[in-house]
Chain A
Amino acid sequence: MSNLLDIEGLERRELEHYLELAESFAEVQTRSIPKVPVLRGKTVVLAFFEDSTRTRMSFDLAARRLSADVVNFAVSSSSTTKGESLRDTVETISAMGVDGIVVRHSSSGAPQRITEWTDAAVINAGDGWHQHPTQALLDCYTIRRRLGSLEGKQIAICGDIKHSRVARSNIAAFTKLGAEVTVVGPRTLMPADLAAWPVRYSPGIDEIIGDLDVAYMLRIQQERQGAPLFPSVREYRSLYGLTRARAERLPARALIMHPGPVNRGVELDPEVMDDERTVVLDQVTAGVSVRMAVLYRLLGPGQFDETSKPPETSLAELAASTASSEPVGESPAAENVTSTDSASGEVATSFDALTSEVAV
């Protein structure tokens, strides 16, 4: 059983494969019944040891749209529950018979440890300051949709890099796909060993904003462990916020991104939120497609194989399910699909789209 723990462990080809698969699931979501039976009979546990309504909802929808059974397991990982070992929790969940565990945890490395105690596929939905791989995939997906490719693109990630799993996974994903990344912010928000990272560092945003293809603004928390990392929110906005004035200097082609939720008037001015270059909601939409792709890859018939072609039979299955008025009623045994003509047409369309993307 394979897992998705971080971006660093993925080859560029695997990253692209996830993105291509997400394209076809995006198409599924436009249908009148946006649901396919590819994970019918599979059970996915959403084990959120840290609150995250948005990410959990996105995974929940993704799993349901693949017809998986979804169970929510929400416990606090705060110090008050340190008594229960992570191993006990995971072995308990596993003993109930689950195929996939989607893990959100406040401790870096928790998903990796969990893989040692379960046979289920483990999907990292964000661990501490470490990684948030599906966020990186949905961000890459959004950029590709809008700009065609990440190759050679100038991307600035601005804000709290040090404490950000989004930054760590996005830096890995963006650079693997050929983008050039600059991190922006005060040194209090930078990791200890920044020089070893595959990025440039710019202490200020004004010096580079005119050349950017993507301005990726991170959410800030003013205090960590009770200690302020910068003097005030007001000063943060004036030095690092994407204000209206700065947005005017951002090229017309550029994208404005944010992992959400946005502190309006801090990372982004309210007017900038409504700027046509701002794709925050596109990111959210992409999240469901990308998470469908991940769940399908790790739990479905199309488990990743470096040498395999895109999942022909499974796409046929997707199409077949659309043809049915009862999507979840289709037999999962129908892998060698001989479906209706209209369905075959859809397969061809999706498959062509996929292969043409591969050729790019």
Chain B
Amino acid sequence: MSTLALRGGTVVDSKGERKADLVIDQASGRLIEADGVSADQELDASGCAVVPGFVDLHVHLRQPGNEAAETIESGSRSAALGGFTAIVSMPNTDPCTDSAAVVNDVMALAANALCEIKPSAAITLGRDGVALAPMGELAALGVRMFTDDGTGLQDDQLMRRALEYASSLVVDDGADIVLSQHCEASALSQGGVMHEGGWSSRLGLPGQPAEAEELMVMRDIALSRLTGGRVHLQHLSTAGSVEMVRQAKADGLPVTAEATPHHFSLTDAACAGYDPVFKVHPPLRTDVDVEAIRTGLRDGTIDAVATDHAPHTADAKELPFDQAPPGMIGLETAFALAYTHLGLSLMEIVRLLATNPARIAGLSDRHGGPIVPGRLANLAVVDLSEQWVVDGAATASLSSNSPFHGHSVTGRVRHTIFEGEPVVIDGKATR
């Protein structure tokens, strides 16, 4: 029996914090009782924390369709370097992930990935917001999250139908089918390339007001109330959105939410130099919004940190600001930014980056902890003492559109174990 041991680390999961060595049976990929004997392979975790591998609810892998920007393999490598052992891929591929054929294609391409790829699929065919995708057929293939991400589903009636239909689908693992919404009322946001406010006025760039997001957050909460349907709200970016989600949860509605590192780290002032690396939807907002997002993450209003990792080739970002595509990469910086900016204990970070997103994605049986014998070994080993400066070009992603280039952060992923295999050792991908 080939074994891998992690020695000298402090295990931190939802159960608490304890000094422990961990031993993994590499054939099964599962944690086994540490019996004190030496293992076939040893990894040093001294001075580090061993936590459940992170789960990202929101990743654009660009395959099929735009393999110059990212592939499933390169994106999974970037994820592994960021401590992620599972990521939910977004359906805005080309062709759109709205059919069994494309879902199967993504799953086949993911077979050798450095982390688990859980595909989401579109709610509507072609993400056109007109006709429902075959949700039942796709759920049978393992899809648990549906989203038209990139745009919000504008049609109120269709969103209601989708919620009702999804809530009646029965799947073998008993997980919820979740409708995940990019909240943006497009008639109000139309043409806006950054947050509407002082900076957009001064820069002469078309803005989209916070209310464009908040209108759809409000509608989806109302539709969840109407249908009992399970709604997940993506990348909250405004103080108003956070407050509405807080109230919805107080009312007991089945609503969850995520926020991105860029929305809790950066403001619209970053757009002052017209560099499209700072262009993203929803846009970077104000100081007040950043503080509200941080508060929402701290008090449990927002369930998860998700990256909205959105690779774009260099030439795409060399267009003028208003013409460049929105989006920024974030897999390799997410943990450090969360640890640096949120002022939370590692245990609370684990809740936001692993336990909660694993639950929302329907992956709790194998991701998100707890770290106990018998569980699949999906782990990240993080060094909380390391301070480092982000180098946007030093990434396994095929794209380098990180808005955090030059930022000083604390906390770094040292090793990542995916189903028992050390896919990252000392900050380097092993394959």
Which residues in A have some Cβ–Cβ distance to B below 8 Å? 77, 79, 82, 85-88, 105, 107-110, 112-113, 127-131, 162, 165, 168, 191-194, 196-197, 225, 227
Contact = CB atoms under 8 A, between A and B. Distances in A.
Contacts of A107: 320-323
B204 A196 contact: no
Please provide the 9 A-B residue pairs with the shortest distance between their CB atoms, ordered closest to farther.
Answer: A109-B274, A107-B320, A130-B204, A129-B204, A191-B201, A193-B198, A85-B318, A108-B204, A87-B318
B197 A192 contact: yes
Nearest to B325: A82
B315 A87 contact: yes
B65 interface: no
Given A192-B209, A225-B190, A225-B191, A109 B200 contact: no
22 contacts: A77-B323, A79-B323, A85-B316, A86-B318, A107-B322, A107-B323, A108-B203, A108-B274, A108-B320, A108-B321, A108-B322, A109-B273, A128-B205, A129-B206, A130-B203, A130-B205, A162-B201, A192-B196, A192-B197, A192-B198, A192-B207, A193-B200
A85 B204 CA distance: 21
A77 to B, nearest CB: 8
Contacts of A86: 318-320
A213 to B, nearest CB: 26
B323 to A, nearest CB: 6
Contact of A109 (B206, B209, B320): B320
Contact of B274 (A88, A112, A162, A197): A112
A324 B273 CA distance: 47
Interface in B188-233: 190-191, 196-198, 200-207, 209
B320 A113 contact: yes
A109 B203 contact: yes
Contacts of A85: 315-316, 318-319
Task: Select the residue from B200, B207, B209, B274 with max chain A CB neighbours within 10 A.
Answer: B274
B204 A82 contact: no
A279 B246 CA distance: 59
A318 to B, nearest CB: 36
Contacts of A162: 201
Contacts of B206: 129
- State the main secondary structure of chain B at its contact with A: loop
Which interface class (under 10, 10 to 19, 20 to 34, 35 or more) fits B?
Answer: 20 to 34
B197 A193 contact: yes
Interface string B165-200: 000000000000000000000000011000011101
A105 B201 contact: no
Nearest to A81: B323
Contacts of B200: 192-193
A65 B322 CA distance: 35
B273 A112 contact: yes
A281 B196 CA distance: 36
Nearest to B209: A192
B320 A168 contact: no
A162 B191 CA distance: 14
Task: Select the residue from A77, A112, A127, A196 with max chain B CB neighbours within 10 A.
Answer: A112
A88 B315 CA distance: 9
A340 B296 CA distance: 78
Task: Select the residue from B191, B201, B273, B315 with max chain A CB neighbours within 10 A.
Answer: B201
Contacts of A192: 196-198, 200-201, 207, 209
Contact of B322 (A112, A128, A193, A227): A128
B106 to A, nearest CB: 27
A197 to B, nearest CB: 7
A93 B220 CA distance: 50
B238 to A, nearest CB: 15
A86 B315 CA distance: 9
Task: Select the residue from B197, B204, B273 with max chain A CB neighbours within 10 A.
Answer: B204
B205 A196 contact: no
Task: Select the residue from B198, B315, B319, B321 with max chain A CB neighbours within 10 A.
Answer: B319
A87 B318 CA distance: 6
A193 B273 contact: no
A169 B363 CA distance: 55
Given A86-B319, A107-B321, A127 B204 contact: yes
Contact of A165 (B202, B204, B320, B322): B204
Contacts of B321: 107-109, 113
A37 to B, nearest CB: 36
B314 to A, nearest CB: 8
A227 B206 CA distance: 14
A292 B209 CA distance: 41
B50 to A, nearest CB: 44
A195 B275 CA distance: 26
Interface in B318-362: 318-323
A131 B320 contact: no
Contacts of A105: 320
Contacts of A227: 190
Contacts of B201: 162, 191-194, 196-197
Contacts of A87: 315, 318
B262 to A, nearest CB: 20
Contacts of A88: 315, 318
A76 to B, nearest CB: 12
Given A109-B205, A130-B203, A192-B197, 7 more contacts: A82-B319, A85-B316, A108-B204, A108-B274, A192-B200, A193-B201, A193-B202
Nearest to B206: A129
A104 B200 CA distance: 20
